[in-house]
Every structure is written in structure tokens, then in C-alpha cells.
Amino acid sequence: MDLYAGKINRLIEELSSLPGIGTKSAGRLAFYLINEPEDRVKRFTDAILDARANIHYCRECYTLTDEEVCPICSNPRRDHGTIMVVENTRDLAAYEKTDKYEGVYHVLHGAISPMLGIGPGDIKLKELMHRLAGDVQEVIIATNSSLEGETTAMYLSKLIKPTGIRCSRIASGVPVGGDLENIDEVTLLRALEGRTEL
């Protein structure tokens, strides 16, 4: 039995189809939106439609932007000779929040996953190799530490090494504040292998 009218149920159903939004959260959001002033809801829906219509890939790094070239790639103060390869735009944003990386990025929009049928041709690898024909000194592979991320990193290193461009992988390991007894073996091994001199 439906608790609410059809239109409310439809709104809850649409909201719950968003990642990370369950039925309860979708219900809260639905009632929040219904009780907001109409002009506020219109601004919200206009922002969604405008973003959907006008956001596309940067022609250089393939992050999402509303310009032809994103602000990072168009910044002359960035080191265009160093490219950090990330799986998605959220990973790029995470590194930008550190305010320490001064190079540019390349967004793959996924990772190689034979189990899911995602091969090298399904992500932005060809576009990366095209960029490497320019004046690039180093590629930093910053894919996730998952099986797919590791597979992608290994595949990338095999493609990049013959070009003579320096290829490095981000270190991964023990998180700050983490107890060693609660950390898996792969993470501990990566932390050991990525150790630095004090």
C-alpha cells in the first residue's frame, strides 16, 4: 500500500535512485523540496538542467567543466610537464583540496575491470597517450588501491615506460590515526614498500 499520493511517491522514487540516497533520505528530501518556496525549487531544478546541458569534458584533461578548457589546464602557473592520472573528477577534487600539487591532471573516467567488462578502450587511455606526445616529464599514477585501480596502474606503467617519461605511483598505506592491528595485509605491505627515510 502506498503511503503517499502518486506524485510524492514518484518524487521519492526518483530521489532514491541517486547514489547514496536511501528511501528514508529520499523521503526527507522530497518533503523538504515540496515545502520550499516555488522560486527556490525552480532555481534548484534550473541548476540541475543547466549543469546537465552545459557541463562536458575538458578537451585536455577530461575533467568535468563548463568551459572548453578547465581552470586547472588553462592556468599558466601549473606545471604542464607533470600529469597526475586519476580515476574520476572526485579524485581530482580530493588532490586539489591538499593545495600542494602544482601539476595538471588526466581523468580516466573509470578503471580497467575485466570482471565488469571494462577494458582499456572504455576509459580515457588513448587520450592520455596522445597528451604524452607533448612536453611531459612525469606521469603520476593516482588510481585507487582497489584491484581495478592496481590493474589500471600496472597497465599504464607498461604503456608509459617505453616512452622514456618518468612514471611514478602514489604511495598508499596506513592512514593517520589508524591502528596497525585493524589494517589489512595489502595496505600494510604497500605502506612498507612506500616508506621514506626520516
Extents of the domains making up the chain: 78-193
Contact assessment for residue 135 and residue 80, using Cβ atoms and an 8 Å cutoff: yes
What pLDDT does residue 82 have?
95
Helix residue ranges, H only, 17-122 = 23-35, 38-54, 89-98
Residue 36 clears pLDDT 80, i.e. is over it: yes
Q: Give the whole-number percent of the chain exceeding pLDDT 90.
A: 69
Q: Provide the CATH topology of domain 78-193.
A: Dna Topoisomerase Vi A Subunit; Chain: A, domain 2 (3.40.1360)
The average pLDDT across 124-146 equals 92
In the prediction, which pLDDT does 24 show?
93
pLDDT of residue 147: 86
- Does residue 198 surpass a pLDDT of 50? no
Element (DSSP H or E) covering residue 107:
strand 103-107
CB atoms within 10 A of CB 37: 8
Q: Mean pLDDT, to the nearest integer, of 6-22?
A: 92
> Average pLDDT, stretch 100-106?
93
Mean per-residue pLDDT of the chain: 89
Mean pLDDT of 56-79: 96
- The residue-averaged pLDDT of 146-173 equals 89
What DSSP assignment string belongs to 113-132? BGGGTB-GGGTTHHHHHHHT
137 Cβ contact list (under 8 Å, min separation 6): 81, 82, 165, 166
pLDDT tops 70 at residue 1: no
Examine the pLDDT at 73 and tell me if it is beyond 90. Answer: yes
Residue 41 has pLDDT above 60, yes or no: yes
